[in-house]
A and B are shown apart, each in its own frame.
Chain A
Amino acid sequence: MNEHDGSERLQQQVKQAFAQHTPLQICGGGSKTWFGGAPQGEPLQLAAHQGVISYEPTELVITARAGTRVQDVEKILAEQGQMLPFEPPHFADSATLGGVIACGLSGPRRPYAGAARDFVLGVKIINGRGEILHFGGEVMKNVAGYDVSRLMVGALGTLGVLLEISLKVLPLPARDITLAHVCDADTAIRHMNQWAGRALPLSGTCHDGKTLFVRLSGAVSAVQAGQAELGGEVLEDGAGFWSQVREQQVDFFHDAQPLWRLSVPPTAPALPQPCWMDWGGAQRWWHAPLSELSALRRQAEAMGGTVQLFRGRTDHEAVFHPLSASILRLHQGLKQAFDPRLILNPGRMYPLDNE
């Protein structure tokens, strides 16, 4: 990792863009250009802005520059027996911490440990006026001022350029085990919800249409007790399996058709197969042509959730589930408050100009 503080250069570039009304596309490692709306504008390069600024294992906090590669962060943590609890997908080795946080991506552990936003303690950003601002900090509990740090998570850089991020980290579990149960989707949904209501050390669940996979993590005794309670076949390479699930490398995701992500209540009924289900039932993946957009939105809403065109966007469809008029107005207002000239990552999320 090349330690490098690019804040000043980045700030100058944003200030100039503000003065000249130049749209900017914020570029990290380029591993997720396909995510959200299509990037447009002049590139603002974050990848060189990297390095871990502070890491105190016993404080459970790490602070790193946004361009730091996620895999580097994870390596440094692992050396101290710790991890990013939200288990973010990388989608490529080049993935940066800033990119993961801006996209708000979390992996299999999400329903049990929490999402990216749950572990963000503080950020340093450049807003759309080119001002460098700090929010939150490096302590676990902090309610001074509005929670702007968490607001940045999943905002796709449209409210600010992430410069530094402080995250809560956790110890790596002493033991992991993955158990496989052959069952249909309805049974899997019932199991996942029932088991989450029992004191079991769950850390991942998914269903591929035929088999329910359950990961248990924690103290050796807790994992053993959980295994005794749940039974099922032990999967040999559990770690490899969950990494493939996290990175969407399992067979289900090898399909040329657009990939849709449904975020729904975990008890929502099963969708027709083939459907990949994870997050205890709260996340459902489906392949379908773009022509299904409206039908899928209706379906997701009927299930009490929303749908996102995760992969396979074209220039014509909105990627994210539409917001109600009032919520959209709040989004536009927030955009104005942070980026009045709409220069940061335009088009990456929703059309946020007021017109």
Chain B
Amino acid sequence: MPRVRAGDRRFGGFRQPVAIAFGLLFLLPLWFLVAGSFREPGTVPPRTPELFPRPVSTESYGDAFALVDLGRYLLNSLAVAALTVPPAVLVASWAGFALLLLAGRARLVLLAVSFAALMIPVTALLVPRFTLYRWLGLTDTWVPLVAPALLGLSPFYVLLFYWSFRRLPPELFEAARLEDARPFVMWRRLAMPLVRPVTVAVALLAFIASWGNFLDPLVYLFDPDLYTLPLGLRSLAVLDRTNYPVLLAAAVAATAPVVLAFAVAQRFFLHEDRGAGWLGR
């Protein structure tokens, strides 16, 4: 029988409608996006937001894929994300675990450095990064898009892993040390399986960051064959106002993989309740 907390009982009747109201509020832009994409292209745009387009047309989708090479950009974005997400998760989790294993002072210094790195705006690094990649002859390749993954993509992901590992009872790792488990074995056999929801969350965040990355492809890519989806969307934004359903159709095509990824990943967040003693406490 599911356990009911006192707070749930007290606010049970009140919470649900509020949650639904908030859910609808966030769903509304998504609805306008989808509804707008089914509007007939070339017609006069409506003066007020339109809940249901009349007539319903899928012509915009055909136009979007015909006007720009969306299929290629979609595949390019998928390829870049596939090259970015696994190393980002791997490196961020290694770095987070290394922070956990470090002795007091060294750990504090590295935590401070990570926090400091988190504060630096990405745009501040744009010029030095561009200079570096050009000097290395790596502009107009996907390397500048993928390379940050080798640093965990963001210090936030490293810290997220570190905080998750820190929540695990230290005796688990001490028991493993007594059994001759080296750091890599502890990371692989103990730490990672116990922070699976965090791993999925970081993977999802890294995927979204890579998928929606507009600035880096804009700066580093010149060859249209290498373009990713955000650049393709940008080229559709120059269309006439009457053709905005085409842009929305492309936006739907761009958003769908993210929604799908979240739908697949959410079951890892909402994992079963294993009750007291799950972590041996």
Whether chain B is bound by chain A comes out as no
The chain B residues found within 8 Å of chain A, CB to CB, are none
